[in-house]
Structure 1
Amino acid sequence: MGIAILNADGDGMVFPAPSLPIAIPSCKGSVASREIPQEINNLLILELLALENTNLIGLIPSSIFNITSLKNLNLLENNLTDSISNASQLTSLDLRLNAFTGSIPNSLGNLARLQHLGLGMNYFVGDSSSSTELSFLDSLTNCRHLRRLWVDENPLNGILPASIANLSSSLENIDAGSCGIKGNIPDGIGNLSNLIFLNLPENDLSGLIPTTIKGLRKLQVLNLGENRIQGFTPEDLCNLLNLGALRFNKNNFSGSIPACLGNITSLIYLYLHSNILTSSIPTSFWSLTDLLVLDLSSNSLSGRLSPEIGNLKSATVIDLSMNQFSGDIPSTIAGLQMLIHLPLSRNIIHGPIPESFGNLINLEFLDLSQNNLSGMIPKSLEALLYLKYFNASFNRLKGEIPTGGAFANFTY
């Protein structure tokens, strides 16, 4: 096998295959911008070409794609602007962080051996034809070995076609965040049974989550945040027992939170904030002992906070602000010594601030404002040496404000 590296002088060199990976240093900022030399096609036994972060500009020479042995092409983070041609032996093509424009060519479907395709962070747009569907996805159904597809942060502004169901059964990773994708998530998404990572945030998706999503049993990350998806949070999600991160924030989900989500014990990050969710927090959530982040803020959740919240020993962020929670603050929260961020503002919580809050030794952010809290601010909070933000305004507190510890640095 041959490996080509573009060095700081712009010379192409071929090395024999190493027994260990070669680290390719960045040349960005150390040399002037330059084009890929046409002479690159003289490297007849080239299998891997890595020109990452080397200030390249202009077009990709078509001569690169005449190198029949080429399998891996990495042109990540340059300023290339156009030209993707055929290279039938390619298994990996990474063109992220460049300046490519126009439609993503359907000819990519000719790369039958392709496993990794990175087109993210460019200026690709949707199909120029009258169809609003993203036709390049149709062509990629020919790539039967495709495992990773990155098209994030391109202004595609199209609809996911039903043919997404026919993508490679080996597909593990889809990243299409911030692409202006519209319409519903196709039912066929459930056919991608080996999918591990599905990232579709900051788009314009609407409608309901298809029930077929329960077929993605290997899924570990599901991010649909910042769309316009509506309806109830589907209980079909509860079949995804390998899920570690679930982001449904900033959508139009309504109704109650399915209690069965608490059965997904692998959950580490759970973001349901900024929806229209109602009812109380399911008691099953207090069994998620590995949970690091629980964000339920900006909904219409109600009820008393359970003392079992103290079971979330791993939590670093618990955000329950801007809801309708009532009752006292459970003193058991004070046992969450990993907690860094605790906003409880804009609820109807009453009673005192627990004296035991002084045990939250890692706490940096505490917002208790706009509730019905009474009594004094406990002097024990002076023990919170990392506290950077404290807000207890718009309550019914009285007495002196502590002056020691972090309070000595606060403005009133």
Structure 2
Amino acid sequence: MPPFDVSEGDPFGPHNLPYGVFSRSGSTERTVGIRLGDHVLDAGAAAAALGSPYVSLLARPSLDALLSAGRTAWSDVRRALTAWVTVPAHRETLVPFFHPLSEVVLHLPFEVADYVDFYASEHHARNVGKIFRPDAADSLTPNWKHLPIGYHGRAGTVVVSGTDVVRPSGQRKAPGDAAPVFGPSVRLDIEAEVGFVVGVPSAPGAPVPLSAFRDHVFGLCLLNDWSARDIQAWEYVPLGPFLGKSFATSVSAWITPLDALEDARVAPPARTHPLLPYLDDAEEEPGGYDLRLSVALNGHTVSEPPFRTMYWTAGQQLAHLTVNGASLRTGDLFASGTVSGPGEGERGSLLELTWNGRDPLGLPGGERTFLEDGDEVTLTAWAPGPDGTRVGLGEVRGRIVPRA
């Protein structure tokens, strides 16, 4: 099918147009691309051919220049791209700059400056509390309803979808063991999440209020925060996750701009506790997103977590991240935390799906509690778009391989 003739209902039609970075097979030259159906448009070459003023933002080996250009530029470039792929007069000029997705290599689309992971799903947090603190009066920790809990991760091990994940090693100690042992993780898990990509930086000492969220955040992507539960359990007291999380975080090759998700915006769940002013979003525009995630293990769907149930919004996470004066940088990535819904088939981690290994998943290839070498996990998602369309989010795929 010609690149312009996208099938009706294609979630990657002209209403979407996510950004990525690609190289052609056999070439090391990277450039910004726009996805349309099952093709990618070389955006820099297209801009040059059309004499566009945005060539300086698009003829680049990463999205960094566009990210830092700001909200007005983001909207202007998106309007131009939409015209390029929908106005018939551009077809003859642009056809040579479209490439089948099957013939390109996709890369990490931006340089990750900092990485922060949150814990924003009440359903996930309550499940974890019930698993590890079954006798507690409340499955949530006392601070959970008052602030978005998070931790700083490792930016250098954020990898693009399709990158193999080497099984991590570290110390682990089961409750009945006399001493810790060292070796490969035997409780390797996934966390189905959504990541938000910062474009415009902020000044040190200047918190970013809820009202400025869309001035700083360019778009979002799917994210899998791989987790070694046995390593994590032994190391996290009292300072939190470290080696159990830092070995790999997989992100989609495609960043969906927030402007493509206007029809997916929803109000977050009702607040059950009063919020301090910097987190109080009662008077703000709806901060939630109706994203429908799907988790597949070796091609078999095991969960469909709903993002609209997330208690803390990305705007609140950004406000909390910066309220102490911490500054933003172009390319900062902050993740939602595991997305889980109220149903058993809506849990975003194997920890929850198997209730910490107690209830194995029955799969065509055999039972699973945690990941085995050779297992492949794929995250996909879509959101409601204009006029009944769907906006597709680029998949996140990773295969577990043993340490050499």
TM range (shorter): under 0.3
Bigger helix fraction = 2
Provide TM-score, normalisation by structure 1: 0.23
Which of structures 1 and 2 has the larger relative contact order (alpha carbons within 8 angstroms, sep 6+)? 2
Provide TM-score, normalisation by structure 2: 0.24
Larger Rg: 1
